[in-house]
Amino acid sequence: MEPVLSIIVPVYNVQRYLKKCVDSLLSQDIERSAYEIILVDDGSTDEGGKVCDTYAANYTNVSVIHQKNQGLSVARNVGLEQAGGKYVLFVDSDDYIQDNVLASLVECMRQNDLDIIRFNFTRIDEDGIQNTSHVASSGVFNGHDYLINHLGFECYAWQFLLKRDLLIDNGLYFKPGIIFEDSEWTPRVMEKAQRVSEVDLNVYYYLQRGGSITKDRAERVIRGQLDLIDYLSTQMSRLEDKRWHQGMIAHTAVSAITRISTELYPQRNIYLKELKQKGVYPLSLFHSNKSAGRKIRLINISPRICCLLIHFINL
């Protein structure tokens, strides 16, 4: 019997967290024969690959793919190609899910003939501090309307249960070699979806791991944000309704300028010049909250002044 659900878990050097993740996927309220867990070991250099092998040897619904390190996007794509379920859930291997939630998600997908369902998630740091998101929309929307009116700018692949055929038939794979792959992928998926809904159910626990911000890491993140702006601009050029993409570009630019101001201030002129060359100004206020709106208005007056103020008074 083919599984109803495929859970795809990219694994890379997360030995410390992996067992909790996989155990949560096995602690569910659907028969194990009805779903599969695909662990994609993306060239782990710790003992994570062996942990994957142990689970695959002990559970018939767990399989493992070992490959050389190619990054998160490729690992997810490989898992998606291997998946046999009608529905797909992406789970990051340092995160975990609530016990006994999958049956209700699958049933909601079936009853409403959905392409995508979005659910709540909880951010949790390594000290145990939690903050839970809440989705509250009722009804079923086409993907474009959902993108414009309900999604906001939090684009995480793991906050959705999706119909596998939607992804495969439309070639909706993750773009390799980028670090904001979810934000590039999500709007493409939404534009192809016909039936999208939400459920006010806490499903996913997103572990936000700490760590010092090095200069190299800051530069990599900012470069990734600048690249994301390019990808979003290319997507937007093909759309009649550009509001969400304009808002997401503004959201990304604000984040980049804030990081430049606080972590790479001596190099600010290089990055600010590049943002200007991308033609992002004036930044859109679409879906901006009060704090972001204040920054956007100041950036639109003068990115350099905004950068200076953030640097000195942490605006």
Exposure string (b/e) for 77-92, b if CB count within 10 Å is 16 or more?
Answer: bbbbeebebbbbbbbb
Sign, CA torsion 224/163/168/31: positive
Beta bridge partners of 162: 88, 116
Evaluate whether 239 touches 191 at the Cβ level (below 8 Å): yes
Nearest to 246 by CA among 259, 231, 233: 233
**In the prediction, which pLDDT does 300 show?**
98
Tens-level pLDDT at each residue, the chain (315 residues):
789 999 999 999 999 999 999 999 999 999 999 999 999 999 999 999 999 999 999 999 999 999 999 999 999 999 999 999 999 999 999 999 999 999 999 999 999 999 999 999 999 987 778 889 888 777 999 999 999 999 999 999 999 999 999 999 999 999 999 999 999 999 999 999 999 999 999 999 999 887 655 778 899 999 999 999 999 999 999 999 999 999 999 999 999 999 999 999 999 999 999 999 999 999 999 999 999 999 999 999 999 999 999 999 875
Q: Is the peptide bond before 282 cis (omega within 30 degrees of 0)?
A: yes
Question: CA 239 to CA 245: how far, in whole Å?
Answer: 9
* pLDDT, tens only, 171-197: 999 999 999 999 999 999 999 999 999
pTM, entire model? 0.95
5-208 under CATH 3.10.105.10, yes or no = no
**In the prediction, which pLDDT does 213 show?**
58
Alpha carbon distances (Å) from 172 to 54, 64, 241, 301: 31, 23, 20, 38
* pLDDT, tens only, 226-245: 999 999 999 999 999 999 99
**In the prediction, which pLDDT does 315 show?**
58
